[in-house]
Structure 1
Amino acid sequence: MIKTISNEYLKVNINTRGAEINRVTGANGIEYIWSGDKKYWGRHAPILFPIVGRLKDNHYTYDSKTFEMGQHGFARDMEFEVINQNNDSIELQLVSNDQTKSMYPFNFKLIVRYELIDHKLSTNINVYNTDDKEMYFSVGAHPAFNLPLLKDGSEKYEDYSVKFDNKGVYDQIQFDVPYANLESIEKIELDQPIQLSPELFYDDAKVIEIKNREFTTTLSSDVSNHGVTMTGYNTEYGGIWSAKDAPFVCLEPWWGIADDIHTDGKIEHKVGINNISPNKKFVAKFDLSFF
């Protein structure tokens, strides 16, 4: 079911399936979020939980038991309950059940809150441990943005770049697709924007380690004054991705990452894994500002 929040600047459609942003329309008429054309990629902005990326051979072990789970976890394909909604905000909830327990042996509550503040859409992903044992998880977001944003022929994909407020040298994670290879980390300098081209993503996503800091990236065009800025808070990893030759790009804040090629398969040893004690919560927060 599609739910809508809005203010004088933005209108946002959110699907209760996956608590996924399906559409963001500006008062300027621009459609910011990717249309979900299955020719390239049939999603818009999925929530990733309780893993980010892919498990090696699609399974892991916990307490001597083996569990299977697909890429990016199950939350993006499950129906959320709307627990609160106003004109400019909404909260959606997923609670562990028999279906989730067959893939993930923890009791949890996942609440996604979206709130519009002027030109900004603020997202809080709240992970609650409702179990009586330590809970292991990863969480992230995968918003995709139309490129070019203007459909009048005045822009093209290659006019866009991704700029970084947090300049400096970072570790760039290399992949033996679809797994991370932590023995093959390269340095990347982010003092200059990354100019976009389809070829940039032929070898999969570009992922850097941010190490639990606030991190801001801006996707914008050289020939117009429109784009989107994403700020992640206490972010562990950041990704930029697109499908092959697709007219969109994703800016992805992650609190987790795909399995390392040398994983032992135990979820408590998984690279980028988070853990919270019983009756505690973890908050993953990011903002999208549209212009």
Structure 2
Amino acid sequence: MTTITLSNGTLSAEIATLGAELQSLKDSAGREWLWQADPAFWPRHAPVLFPIVGKAAGGKVRVGDKEYPIGQHGFARDSEFEIVEQTPSSVALRLIESTATRQHYPFDFELVMHYALEGTTLHQTATIRNPGGDSLPASFGYHPGFAWPLPDTEAAQTDHIVLFEKDEPAEIRRLGPGGVEAKGRPSPVAGRCLALDPSLFDDDAMIFDRLESRSLWFGVPGKPGLRADFPDMPYLGLWMKPGAPYLCIEPWQGHAAPEGFAGDIGDMPGMMHIAPGASEARHMSVTLEAPE
């Protein structure tokens, strides 16, 4: 595994070739905003989710009359990417199909992860290209964990909020033993504001599958925080392990299989169908020290 360090004089970031995973995101004062993967809680920083988000039904995806075993969130997060382009403040990394990936996902593909620093913002773009001759079913998700409490806030976890771009009155979903629950639960968001408390995650992740917002702010009211923008991602997960000092803000293109799901991989929620020779891009940007 190689680690690439990016800097623009205002931000610095580290990205590993293993999983094309963001490993560090620091401001000009050297403060770390990204979760540092304490294995006592969760040994990852910001995994890339591809070609599925969440768990497949029974740990397998069906393609035609065949089934293929696949782990939670797919295989990209545990795959070695190659560096295809690099500057002092940006890098692009690529993953393509192999004998190993075909054991889980029998398709030709190209996934390019691009990271670029601009001012106080880290821009991330995932581009999925279909080099094959048939439609490519694919999903994608970002899964960054951020320090909670945020650095230098001198505040408790319960002093933090998530402030959505728009009101979020729709019911949310939770994960049950058989997949994403069919029955929704009341939104914990009051207007645009979610008052954070670790107890919100006693039932695992919160899944916003009828999301109005494509941007949110995370922090302590009245202090600089973190803004996440995800203009083309229709779903959002918020997650932490109770007792852990991080919050995962996860824009998704799809989500885990619903309870009772028995369809083809192409029928999973949010699955893209990329035409031969075509590509799809999904974006997320993170701005540090952003005002409320």
1:247 lines up with 2:245 in the alignment: yes
For 1:203, give the aligned amino acid.
Answer: D
Partner of 1:134: 135
Tell me, in whole angstroms, the C-alpha distance in 2 between the residues paired with 1:17 and 1:254: 21
**Counterpart contact for 1:115–1:121, Cα < 8 Å:** yes
SS of the equivalent of 1:57 reads: helix
SS of the equivalent of 2:42 reads: coil
Tell me, in whole angstroms, the C-alpha distance in 1 between the residues paired with 2:95 and 2:277: 16
Partner of 2:6: 5
For 1:246, give the aligned amino acid.
Answer: A
For 1:235, give the aligned amino acid.
Answer: M
**Superposed displacement of residue 178, structure 1:** 6.3
1:200 lines up with 2:197 in the alignment: no
Tell me, in whole angstroms, the C-alpha distance in 1 between the residues paired with 2:275 and 2:171: 30
**Post-superposition CA distance 1:195-227 (Å, at most 9, x none):** 11111111011111246x7611111014x6232
Q: Identity across aligned pairs (percent)?
A: 29
Partner of 2:209: 209
**Counterpart contact for 1:137–1:274, Cα < 8 Å:** yes
Partner of 2:161: 161
Partner of 1:257: 255
Partner of 1:144: 145
Tell me, in whole angstroms, the C-alpha distance in 2 between the residues paired with 1:156 and 1:187: 25
**Counterpart contact for 2:127–2:280, Cα < 8 Å:** yes
**Superposed displacement of residue 93, structure 1:** 0.3
Residues 24-43 of structure 1 aligned to structure 2 (within 5 Å)? 24-43=25-44
Partner of 2:218: 219
Partner of 2:70: 69
Residues 41-120 of structure 1 aligned to structure 2 (within 5 Å)? 41-120=42-121
**Counterpart contact for 1:91–1:114, Cα < 8 Å:** yes
Tell me, in whole angstroms, the C-alpha distance in 2 between the residues paired with 1:28 and 1:165: 28
For 1:31, give the aligned amino acid.
Answer: E
Partner of 1:23: 24
Tell me, in whole angstroms, the C-alpha distance in 1 between the residues paired with 2:177 and 2:227: 28
Kindly tell me the number of residue pairs found equivalent between the two proteins.
287
The CA RMSD measured in Å over matched residues stands at: 1.6
> Is the alpha carbon distance of 1:199 and 1:168 closer, same or farther for their aligned partners in structure 2, counting shifts above 3 Å?
closer
SS of the equivalent of 1:251 reads: strand
For 2:218, give the aligned amino acid.
Answer: L
For 1:83, give the aligned amino acid.
Answer: V
**Counterpart contact for 2:178–2:259, Cα < 8 Å:** no
Tell me, in whole angstroms, the C-alpha distance in 1 between the residues paired with 2:113 and 2:175: 30
**Moved beyond 3 Å, runs of 4+:** none
**Post-superposition CA distance 1:55-105 (Å, at most 9, x none):** 111002112111000000000000000000001111000011110011101
For 2:206, give the aligned amino acid.
Answer: K
For 1:137, give the aligned amino acid.
Answer: A
Partner of 1:191: 191
Tell me, in whole angstroms, the C-alpha distance in 2 between the residues paired with 1:2 and 1:126: 21
Task: Please list every run of 5 or more consecutive structure 1 residues that lacks an aligned counterpart in the other structure.
Answer: none
SS of the equivalent of 1:169 reads: coil
TM (norm. structure 1) is 0.94
**Counterpart contact for 1:148–1:247, Cα < 8 Å:** yes
Task: Please list every run of 5 or more consecutive structure 2 residues that lacks an aligned counterpart in the other structure.
Answer: none
**Post-superposition CA distance 1:26-78 (Å, at most 9, x none):** 11232000010000000000110000000111002112111000000000000
Tell me, in whole angstroms, the C-alpha distance in 1 between the residues paired with 2:168 and 2:161: 17
Return 32-41 or 227-236, whichever deviates more: 227-236
**Post-superposition CA distance 1:156-205 (Å, at most 9, x none):** 211111111122423412321461123x1245355142111111111011
Tell me, in whole angstroms, the C-alpha distance in 2 between the residues paired with 1:88 and 1:171: 40
**Counterpart contact for 1:178–1:258, Cα < 8 Å:** no
